[in-house]
Amino acid sequence: AKKAGLIVHLTMIVGFPWETKEDALRTFDLVKKLMQRGHADLLQATTIVPYPGTSMYEEALKNNGFLFNPKDYDRFDMSEPVLKTRMEPNDVRAICNRIYTIFLTPQYILARLRSLRSMADVMFTLRGAVAVLGHLKDFGRGKS
């Protein structure tokens, strides 16, 4: 995809009911390698959110799988774990937060600076930096 000039965007979803901390950390390591080797340009991390009407939502209702009242839709904002999982909620939050630190590594920053070709690239990168800081703030809130 990159050879064709496409921007490669990765999304890491954390907090599936069956996921262990070790599973999530292995995925994190893979994502980090892909980013550091230049196979991907952009990255986001989020907690799994089973929205009403989906089979995952119904399954969680049936199995008492929510961490809080499933009618509290304001909390379905991807900034905190929603489902009971084999990880502690703070571990889910910490792994999501840790993903965004990849953007702060010297390897990523240098690669990004080398890729800037226009003012549009600069503006895109600045908007991305603001978004990363926002995500770090969201996942660092400690909601539970």
Q: Indicate if the pLDDT at residue 138 is higher than 70.
A: no
Q: Is 113 a member of any domain?
A: yes
pTM of model > 0.85: no
Q: Is 4 a member of any domain?
A: no
Q: Is 1 a member of any domain?
A: no
In contact, 78 and 49? CB cutoff 8 Å: yes
**Among 123, 41, 51, which residue's Cα sits nearest to residue 83?**
51
Range of the domain at 132: 9-139
pLDDT, one tens digit per residue, over 78-132 is: 888 999 999 999 999 999 888 888 888 888 788 778 878 889 888 887 887 787 7
Q: Report the CATH number that the domain containing residue 126 is assigned in CATH.
A: 3.30.750
Q: Would you report the helix, strand and coil content of the chain in percent, each value rounded to 5?
A: 50, 10, 40
Q: Is 53 a member of any domain?
A: yes
Q: Is 3 a member of any domain?
A: no
Q: What percent of the chain has pLDDT over 70?
A: 94
Cα gap 133→84, rounded to integer Å: 27
Task: Say how many domains are in the chain.
Answer: 1
Cα gap 61→124, rounded to integer Å: 40
Q: Indicate if the pLDDT at residue 64 is higher than 80.
A: yes
Cα gap 58→1, rounded to integer Å: 36
